[in-house]
Structure 1
Amino acid sequence: MRFDQHTVVLLGRPDDPPELPLDAADRIQQAHLAHQAGLVEQGAVLAAGPFLDGDDPRFTGFAVLSVDPQMARELYANDPAVSAGQLVARVLSWQVPEGVLRFAEVPVPTAMLETASGD
């Protein structure tokens, strides 16, 4: 059997994130979404999104990338939420049977207002 290898990024809260005023946290989240959308536009991120109702609140989101793990580390080191200490990016290699995953191009949110509509 043949396998496809993907790079996966688990995003999560650090153990001791810096306290920020709500407006600063909102700006960082906006910048994070814009960064993520830019990675999708570049073709580096194939799919990404937040976790909902998880058993472990440390993990907040997940992304599947088309780049190698080292490049993923570099891309996420430049994520505004990671560089601000609000998120930690854990990079893993993931194998699945060849062809089991297919990714379609779909719009991704670039701002928090787009995530609130539920559309």
Structure 2
Amino acid sequence: MRFDQHTVVLLVRPADAPELPQDALDRLQDAHLAHQAGLVDAGHVIAAGPLLGQDDEQLRGIAVLGVDPTMARELYANDPAVRAGRLAVQVMSWMVPEGNVRFESVPVPRSMLEAASGD
């Protein structure tokens, strides 16, 4: 059997994440979304989004990338939320039977305002 290999990044809220005022958190979230959209535009991220209703509240989001784990770590080291210590990354390879999972190219939000607009 043949397998496809994807790199998965889990975005995790560290226990020691710095507390910030709401306006700073909002700016940081917009910067994070813009960074993520840039990775999509560059063809590195093929799917990404927040996690909701999970058992572990520290898990904040997931991304599937078409690059190797080393490159994924480098790309996310530049994420503003990671640099600020509000998010940390866990990187792994995910093997699925060839053709089992397909991703389509769709637009991603570049800000919270764009995400909330529903367009």
Q: What range describes the TM-score normalised by the shorter chain of this pair?
A: over 0.9
- The residue type paired with residue 80 of structure 2 is P
Identity score, percent: 71
Give the CA deviation at 1:117. Answer: 3.0
Structure-2 residue corresponding to 1:85: 85
For residues 8-46 of structure 1, give each alpha carbon's deviation from its aligned partner in whole angstroms, at most 9, with x where no partner exists.
Answer: 000010011011111111111000000000000000000
Report what 2:95 is aligned to.
Answer: 95
Q: Aligned residue pairs: how many?
A: 119
1:3 aligns with 2:7: no
**SS of the residue aligned with 2:82?**
helix
- Stretches of structure 1 that go unaligned for 5 or more consecutive residues are none
Cα deviation for residue 52 of structure 1 reads 1.0
Q: Unpaired runs of 5+ in structure 2?
A: none
Change (3 A) 1:10 1:99: same
In structure 2, C-alpha distance between the alignment counterparts of 1:53 and 1:8, rounded to whole Å: 19
CA-CA distance at 1:115 after TM superposition: 1.6
Query: TM-score, normalization: structure 2?
Result: 0.97
Secondary structure at the counterpart of residue 18 of structure 1: coil
Q: Which residue does the alignment assign to 2:36?
A: 36
TM-score of the aligned structures, taking structure 1 as reference length: 0.97
C-alpha distance in 2 between matches for 1:111 and 1:23: 14
Alignment of 1:9-88 (within 5 A): 9-88=9-88
* Equivalent-residue separation in structure 1 for 2:95 and 2:27 (angstroms): 35
Give, in whole Å, the separation in 1 of the partners of 2:117 and 2:43. Answer: 25
* Residues 59-117 of structure 1 deviation map (CA, whole Å, 9 limit, x = unaligned): 01000000000000000000000000000111001100001111111110001012223
CA distance in 1 between counterparts of 2:48 and 2:28 reads 18
SS of the equivalent of 1:24 reads helix
CA–CA distance in 2 between the matches of 1:25 and 1:36?
16
Amino acid at match of 1:56: D
